[in-house]
Each structure stands twice: as structure tokens, then as C-alpha cells.
Amino acid sequence: MKISRRQMLILLPAAAVAWESVMAGTPEDAPNYKLTDHWWGMLIDISKCIGCGNCVRACQTENDVPDGFFRTWVERYHVSDEDMTRPEVISPDGGKEGFPVASEDGRKYFFVPKLCNHCADSPCTQVCPVGATFISPDGVVLVDQTYCLGCAYCVQACPYGCRYIHPEKKVADKCTLCYHRITKGLTTACCEACPTGARQLADLKNPNDPIHEFLKTHSVQVLKPQMATGAKAFYNDLDGSVR
Amino acid sequence: MSVFKDAGHLFRFAGLFVLAFLVFLVVRHYVVPKSFGQYGHYRGAAIGEIAARPVKFAGHETCETCHSDVADKKKIGKHAHVNCEACHGALASHANADDPTAVMPVLPDPAVLCARCHTASAAKPKGFPQVDPANHYPGSPCKTCHHPHNPGIDAGGAK
């Protein structure tokens, strides 16, 4: 195709206008939601988790997570009392359909649901070369999928293995803490579907949130505290063998 | 003006730099999204876009606005803290429809559903009610004795 100088002069500004409207996006402001009023995290009570996989299935439904990829998953630990540094860990299909029946053998069993820790000092957002992943003002680690190049630096940087490259979109994907739900006053899909209350959404800036009382009165830990990530997935009853 | 006598080529070169800088500014204006840097080194509008994604689980408060009879029954039993969609599945399509009867939820199969949580396994926390389906009245459906919304025996099943 041959474009004359006259056509070019008309086409360039038209393309610029079109590009601008693409880049501006179509943000839909959630009414009555103030970014600065919240600081989100999650409380996970190991002693309550029964490994049913409801959270994994709910997450896949709510967020269209492709098969074989997980924004949240459940691991089953099997720990011997002589060697707690080498636990047997299984997570068949992320625990989506539950776990095989275990028989009593004198060793310790427990389930550990995992998800993005929404770190306050997250290694994944620091390595992004284009500013496509970020910590929102309300403390949720998000990915701008229209801006992401799919270089996967963040996938390598996450110490918790919580990110993946979406097989169709070819961009980074991860738990959004159901950002589209929590900004509307709902809880996350995993918390909504958890039958035992092992997972609880927590707003650390809300003085009336039961999380404050819980953190004060329980032995709560985060995963890999030595990495100083400022993780906000708080685990109650976390065993020392959990990696 | 002797200083600038033979400096014409430098001015042309400087002009080229100024022109390149102007082109850079124009290109930058169009290429960098409007909301970039609004909150930090990212596109501020992305927050709104992510928040605008559709909801699939309606949330138990939404269910209870219509199904208050079930909610009342459930809250006195052992399943009080089990949310509706934990068993019935994601139902925002039903709850948020203009005519909820147009999108009817499928009744879950209790044989699969009850077993998923209550099949006995040494891995589950002690104290969580568990049964071995092979020994606990095999062949009879759970709801013969346990109503799913209030599973206590004295609360009565279908019998």
C-alpha cells in the first residue's frame, strides 16, 4: 500500500487520538471506596484447614485461572518428629479436588493454604522494568496486564512462587486478593467458599477488624520472615517445617 | 561577532539536538499513559480497571436477602459459618439477574459434597467431624439423617 504525504498528514494525528483513548483506559470508580482507608491482608488458620480444596476451586471460578495454574493452592505436610527439616509435601492439582485419604502413622499431618502474601516490601514489584506490577495504595500487589511485557522477572523474584505467566495472555498473572470484590465490600472468593473459616480477609487499617485482637492473642507467623518482605498473609499455628 | 564566525556547524548541530528533544517530548506525551505516576511508578487507571472485573460469587449477604428462611435454619446449626456458595457454587449470575428465576442454580450432589469435607482422614484436624463413608451407613444418602442446612441428627433429615 502506498500512502501519499497528504494521507500521512491526516493519518498520523488520527492514530495519535486513537492511541490516547486506548491508553486512557476505562476506569470504573468504585463508589464509597477510599484507597487510603484500607490496608489489606489475610489471616490463615492452619488448625482449621481441612484440605477440601474449596478455596482453590472458588478462585479458579472467580478469576478464570487457567487449568494447571494457581493463584491459591493447598499443600499437605507430613512431618516426622525425627526430621522436621524434610517434610513430605503434596499438592495434587493444587489440592483442587482435595487430598487422598491419609492413615494414622504417628507422624504429623497438616494443610497449608498458600496465596500471594501481598508483601508490603514486595520483591516482585521492585524488579518490574516497566512499572506493570505495583503495590496499590491499599496494600494489594496487582498486575497491570495491559502494560506487562511478560518478561517474567517478577515470577522469578517472588520467594513464595505465587506468580505465573498466563498461557494465553502471555503476561504475568497472580492473586489480586479479589480486588474487584473487596473494593465492593465483599470478601474474597476463597474466603467466601472456605467452609471452616480457615481463611479470613483482614483490613489492617480498620480498627474494628477482628484481625487486631487475633494478632495480639495468637502465635501468628508469616512465611519466610527472614526475607523481610513485609508479608501480609498471617498464619496461625504455622509449623516450623513449612517452607 | 568573530567568536561565532566559524561556528555555524555547531549551531546546526545544536538545533538538531533541540529538534530531537522536542520530538522526544511529543512522542513521550502520546506514549506515556495519562494516569502513569498518579500513585507511583505505574498506571493509576489500572487500579480502577482491575476493580471493575465482574464478580461471580454473590456473597452470602446477597443470598440471605431472599432466602432468609434458609439462613434462619442454617444459623442455629453446625453449618452456621458455612457460606451458601461454599456448597452451591458461584451464583452471582442468579443473584444479580433481573429475573433470578431465569438462571436457576443446580442442586449440588450431596454424595460428593458431604464427602469432600467429612471423609475421615488422619490429615484433617482432630475434632473436625469425619466419617468413613464405607462404614457409616453405606448406601443411604447423607440427607436421610442429616439436613445439609442443619446437619445435627436431632434437627432431622428427610426421614
pLDDT tens digit sequence for A118-135: 999 999 999 999 999 999
| B34, B42, B60 ranked by CB distance to A24: nearest | B34
C-alpha–C-alpha distance, residues A76 and A81, integer Å: 16
- Inter-chain residue contact A62 with B55, CB threshold 8 Å: yes
Mutation pick from A46, A52, A89 vs chain B, by most beta carbons of B within 10 Å, is A52
Is residue B125 predicted with pLDDT exceeding 80? yes
Let me know: does A116 contact A209? Beta carbons within 8 Å: no
Residue B26 forms contact with A (CB below 8 Å)? no
pLDDT in tens, B71-121: 999 999 999 999 999 999 999 999 988 888 888 888 888 778 999 999 999
Distance between A79 CA and the closest CA of chain B, angstroms: 11
CB crowding B35-60: b at 16 or more within 10 Å, else e:
bbeebeebbbbbbbbbbbbebbbbbb
| Residue B124 with chain A: CB contacts under 8 Å | 50-51, 109
**A100: nearest CA partner in chain B:** B121
- Inter-chain residue contact B128 with A51, CB threshold 8 Å: no
pLDDT of res. A25: 42
- Inter-chain residue contact B85 with A194, CB threshold 8 Å: no
Distance between A160 CA and the closest CA of chain B, angstroms: 23
Is residue A24 predicted with pLDDT exceeding 60? no
Claim: this prediction has a pTM higher than 0.80:
yes
| Arithmetic mean of pLDDT, B11-29 | 96
- Inter-chain residue contact B35 with A54, CB threshold 8 Å: no
Tell which residue, B95, B90, B72, has the closest CA to residue B149: B72
pLDDT band at B153 (very low <50, low <70, confident <90, very high): confident
pLDDT of res. A1: 54
Average pLDDT, chain B: 91
| Residue A116 with chain B: CB contacts under 8 Å | none
Q: How far is CA B125 from the centre of its chain?
A: 27
Question: DSSP label at A168?
Answer: T
Residue B83 forms contact with A (CB below 8 Å)? yes
| B40, B116, B125 ranked by CB distance to A47: nearest | B125
- Inter-chain residue contact B55 with A54, CB threshold 8 Å: no
Residue B15 forms contact with A (CB below 8 Å)? no
* ipTM above threshold 0.90: no
pLDDT in tens, A152-179: 999 999 999 999 999 999 999 999 999 9
Span of A30-34, A111-115, B74-78, B129-133 with lowest mean pLDDT: A30-34
Is residue B159 predicted with pLDDT exceeding 50? no
Question: DSSP label at B146?
Answer: -
Q: How far is CA B140 from the centre of its chain?
A: 35
Is residue A29 predicted with pLDDT exceeding 50? no
pLDDT of res. A175: 98
pLDDT in tens, A181-221: 999 999 999 999 999 999 999 999 999 999 999 999 999 99
- Inter-chain residue contact B51 with A133, CB threshold 8 Å: no
- Inter-chain residue contact B55 with A184, CB threshold 8 Å: yes
Span of A20-29, B11-20, B100-109 with lowest mean pLDDT: A20-29
Q: Give the orientation angle of helix B8-31 with respect to helix A5-24, to 10 degrees.
A: 50
- Inter-chain residue contact A192 with B121, CB threshold 8 Å: no
- Inter-chain residue contact A23 with B33, CB threshold 8 Å: yes
Let me know: does A62 contact B56? Beta carbons within 8 Å: yes
Q: How many CB pairs under 8 A join A and B?
A: 159
More confident residue, A236 or B109: A236
pLDDT in tens, A68-93: 999 999 999 999 988 888 999 999 99
Is residue B30 predicted with pLDDT exceeding 50? yes
